[in-house]
Amino acid sequence: MRRGSNLPAVGTYNQTLVLDLIRRSSAGLSRSELAERTGLSAQTLSNVARKLVDEGMVVEGAPVVSGKGKPPTPLQLNPQARYAVGIHLDPAVDTVVLVDMGGSVVAHAEHAPRPGAAPDRMLAELAARVNELLDRAGVRRDLVLGIGVAVPGPIDAERGAMLEPPLLPAWHNVPLRDGLQEATSLAVMVEKDVVAAMVGELWVDGSQQLSEAMFFYYGAGVGVGLAVDATPVRGRTGNAGDVAHLVVEPGGPLCHCGQHGCLGVAVAPERIMADAGLPGATNPAEWRSALGRLAQSAVAGDTAIAAVFERTAAALARAMVLMNNLLDADVVVIGGPMWSRIAPALEPHLVRSLADSTELTTTRGITLLDTRLHTDVTAMGAACLVLDSAFTARPAGLMITPR
C-alpha cells in the first residue's frame, strides 16, 4: 500500500540527509557543495545547516582558500555529539562497545558468557556492564541514544527476544529488549547478528561501495547480512540471512536437517578443530584461541592443517558464488568473532577459490573485503543500529506510519 507524507517528515528527512553527507566526508562539505549534492535551495540548506550547528551535531571548520572571493567554510561532523552502546551476545564471548557518531569505538569490554545463570541475573549483569562502560568512558547518559543488541537468530522482532538459537539456551524467550530497557533506562533495539553487522558496515562506508553487498558472518555459526540500495534487508520477520542449509559440499558431513554438506556444518569451527586433530575443544569460549593456534600452525607450514583451511575456503567460496548468482551483489565483506583468528590461514585460499570458480554467472567477479570494523564488527554493528535509525536518511522515513 502506498502511503502519504507530510511537511514535518520532509524537514526531518532533509536534516538527516545533510547530516549523513557531512558524516561521510572526512574533510567536511561547504554549504554550496551540500546544496549541489542534495538539490535543496540555498535558503533551505542554510536553515538546515544552522539547525545542525545549533544542536551541536556539526561544527564549522577553517575556511578553505582556493581562489578569489569568500572562501567556503566546511561543515564537519562533531563525533562526540551523540553515542550509542552496542552489545553482541555470542556463544563464545559477550562484547559491549560504546561508539560515537563517527563510528569509532570509545570504550570496549569482553566477558565470558554465563550459560547457567537465571534470566533476571543475566539481564542485571548486562545492564551493569553497560553502566560500567559509560562510567569508564566518562560519557553523559543524556548523550547516549540507546543500546543495540545483536543476537543469533531466530529472533522474535516484535518482542525483542531470541527464540531458540541452539548454542544460547539460557536466553531462549527471555524479554531481552524490555528487560534491558527497564534496567538501564535507555532505549533498546534487538536485531539479528548478521543484519547488525551489515548495518555497521554501511554506517562506516564513506565511499558508498556497499550499496549492493553481502556480509558473510563467521562466528559460532555462519550467516549472511544483505544490503540492497544501501539498505539492510531484514525480511518480513527480521530473520533474513540464514544460509546454514545451503549445500556447498555434496557428500560432506551430515547436518541435523538430514542433508549432507550444508554450509553450517561444512565450515563449522567444530569441524575445523576436529579435522585438525582438536576434537576435545567443545566449549565455545575456547574456540577462538584454538582456531588461532591452528591458523598459526597452517601459516607456519603444517600442510595437513593448511589442507583443512583450504577445504573450508572452498565451501565458503561456493556459498558466496551461489548467493551472488542469486542477488547480483558482487561485493562481499567477511568478518565475525572467529574470522580474525582464521583469516591468515584461510583468506588466501578463499581468494583463489573465488577466482577459480566455474559456477559464477554474473558479469563481474566477486570483490572480497575484510570488515572495516575488525573483531568487534557485530557489537559495533549493534551500536550502529541505534545511530542508523536516528541519522540515516531513507525515503521510507517520509511515509506516514499507519495507526
CATH of the domain at 140: 3.30.420.40
| Same-domain status, 244 and 342 | yes
| Same-domain status, 100 and 21 | no
> Nearest Cα to 325, choosing from 353, 366, 370, 371?
366
Determine, yes or no, domain membership for 276: yes
Q: Is 106 exposed, middle or buried (0-12, 13-18, 19+ CB in 10 A)?
A: buried
pLDDT band at 375 (very low <50, low <70, confident <90, very high): low
Q: Say what the pLDDT of residue 7 is.
A: 40
| Same-domain status, 262 and 242 | yes
Angle between helices 284-300 and 339-356 (to 10 degrees): 60
State the cell numbers at 256.
541435523
29, 57, 77 - which closes a domain:
77
27, 53, 77 - which closes a domain:
77
Q: Say what the pLDDT of residue 237 is.
A: 95
> Nearest Cα to 370, choosing from 178, 216, 142, 185?
216
| Same-domain status, 221 and 113 | no
Give the HSE-up count for residue 170: Cα atoms under 13 Å, Cβ half-sphere: 14
Q: Say what the pLDDT of residue 250 is.
A: 93
Kindly report, residue by residue over 216-236, the tens digit of the pLDDT.
999 888 999 999 988 999 999
| Same-domain status, 66 and 12 | yes
| Same-domain status, 339 and 361 | yes
Q: Say what the pLDDT of residue 4 is.
A: 37
77, 100, 129 - which closes a domain:
77
Q: Which residues contact 205 (CB under 8 A, 6 or more apart)?
A: 24, 230, 372
Query: To the nearest whole percent, how much of the chain has pLDDT over 70?
Result: 92
Determine, yes or no, domain membership for 230: yes
Q: Say what the pLDDT of residue 117 is.
A: 81
Helix intervals (H) in 24-175: 31-38, 42-54, 119-137
Determine, yes or no, domain membership for 2: no
| Same-domain status, 89 and 237 | no
Q: Say what the pLDDT of residue 209 is.
A: 86
Amino acid residing at 345: A
CATH of the domain at 38: 1.10.10.10
Whether 195 has a pLDDT exceeding 80, the answer reads yes
Please give the Cα distance from 324 to 305 (Å, whole number): 29
Kindly report, residue by residue over 277-321, the tens digit of the pLDDT.
987 666 777 888 899 999 999 999 999 999 999 999 999 999 999
| Same-domain status, 171 and 216 | no
Q: Say what the pLDDT of residue 393 is.
A: 67
CB 89 within 8 A of CB 35: no
Determine, yes or no, domain membership for 400: no
Beta-carbon neighbour count of residue 1 at 10 Å? Answer: 4
CB 58 within 8 A of CB 27: no
Kindly report, residue by residue over 44-71, the tens digit of the pLDDT.
888 888 999 999 999 988 776 665 656 7
Kindly report, residue by residue over 175-187, the tens digit of the pLDDT.
999 999 999 999 9
Whether 395 has a pLDDT exceeding 80, the answer reads no
Q: Say what the pLDDT of residue 112 is.
A: 84
Determine, yes or no, domain membership for 99: yes
Strands of the sheet with 105-111, listed across from one edge: 105-111, 94-100, 83-89, 144-151, 188-192
**Cross-strand partners of 98:** 85, 107
Domains in the chain: how many in total?
3
Amino acid residing at 34: L
Q: Name the E strands within 306-393.
A: 331-335, 367-370
| Same-domain status, 63 and 112 | no
Q: Say what the pLDDT of residue 398 is.
A: 46
Whether 5 has a pLDDT exceeding 70, the answer reads no
Kindly report, residue by residue over 102-153, the tens digit of the pLDDT.
889 999 999 888 777 888 999 999 999 999 999 999 999 999 999 999 999 9
| Same-domain status, 37 and 179 | no
CB 257 within 8 A of CB 245: yes
What's the chain's average pLDDT?
Answer: 89
Please give the Cα distance from 398 to 395 (Å, whole number): 5
**What letter would DSSP give residue 160?**
T
pLDDT band at 265 (very low <50, low <70, confident <90, very high): very high
pLDDT band at 396 (very low <50, low <70, confident <90, very high): low
Determine, yes or no, domain membership for 294: yes
Determine, yes or no, domain membership for 183: yes
Q: Say what the pLDDT of residue 278 is.
A: 83
**What letter would DSSP give residue 186?**
S
CB 334 within 8 A of CB 375: no
Kindly report, residue by residue over 312-349, the tens digit of the pLDDT.
999 999 999 999 999 999 999 999 888 989 999 999 99
Of 5-9, 18-22, 198-202, the poorest mean pLDDT is in 5-9
Determine, yes or no, domain membership for 399: no
Amino acid residing at 37: R
| Same-domain status, 361 and 272 | yes
Q: Which residues contact 246 (CB under 8 A, 6 or more apart)?
A: 262, 263, 319, 322, 323
Range of the domain at 189: 80-199+380-391
CB 238 within 8 A of CB 195: yes
Q: Say what the pLDDT of residue 67 is.
A: 58
| Same-domain status, 216 and 309 | yes
Q: Say what the pLDDT of residue 381 is.
A: 94
